[in-house]
Amino acid sequence: MKNTLLSFFMLISISVFSQGLSVNTADYYYQEPGETCSAHFDVTNNLDDTLMVIVTRTFPEEYLTVDSISTNFCWGIACYPPQISVSGQARSIAPGETYDGFTGYLENMPEERTFTMSYCFSEVSNPEIKVCTDVNYTSLSAYIGVEEAATDFGVYPNPANDVLHVNYNSEKEAAFIMYDMLGSEVYSDLITNSKTIQLHDFKAGIYFYTFSVNGLKTEVQKLIITH
């Protein structure tokens, strides 16, 4: 259980698009009090040209009132402490490529608190090519139960062709939810035991899924559908 709680927890994936760049982040990243909460997500170049991208971080004033916590972020191999708000190095992202080299950290999480950090990714030579997203780091105990419940689910095969099997082993009713690449909900069904979902009406491509237990969602996972 301890090792499970030490990993960060995501509720629901949100895709943010703006001016040629997009990020696929989450509503919340969970960590228990006293530990380091981390947020790792991808940045995609949707344009036809290579972009040199930097990161700018801002945080709310309430962050400054808590002496025990500290925030830093890594963009590629370089990491930046709280005193530095803009990454000194730009990372090259080729046309249509996704870069997974960003991680934000909030060290020594206080009890029952949520902090919001804002990260903006922008092109060095053209700041108008930019996407910004808010990331919530939380230690609220409400999310512990959802993280524990995540071990009760299994989804296979992946990639899937015409059918998808959902294994479920819990007395709690849960909702199985699927999203497309834009973050729009495309399927939702209450799960009380294992079931098989027909995929004939879904186009081939990349989807995401999560389970909702008592209104809270488990970590988002990627699903590939082929026909």
- What confidence score (pLDDT) does residue 193 get? 84
- What confidence score (pLDDT) does residue 101 get? 92
Decide which of 2.40.30.60, 2.60.40.3080, 1.10.3720.10, 2.40.100.10 is the CATH code for 149-225.
2.60.40.3080
Q: Which residues contact 164 (CB under 8 A, 6 or more apart)?
A: 155, 156, 157, 196, 197, 199, 223
One fold for 2-139 and 149-225? yes
- What confidence score (pLDDT) does residue 142 get? 67
Using CA atoms, how far apart are residues 177 and 190, in angstroms rounded to an integer?
9
> What would be the CATH architecture of the domain defined by 2-139?
Sandwich (2.60)
- Phi and psi at residue 3, in whole multiples of 5°? -65, -35
Using CA atoms, how far apart are residues 128 and 120, in angstroms rounded to an integer?
11
Instruction: Indicate the domain borders of the chain.
Output: 2-139, 149-225
Residue of 118, 107, 110 whose CA lies nearest to 60: 118
- What confidence score (pLDDT) does residue 223 get? 92
- What confidence score (pLDDT) does residue 9 get? 38
Task: Report residues of the chain scoring pLDDT below 70.
Answer: 1-19, 142-151, 214-215
- What confidence score (pLDDT) does residue 200 get? 92
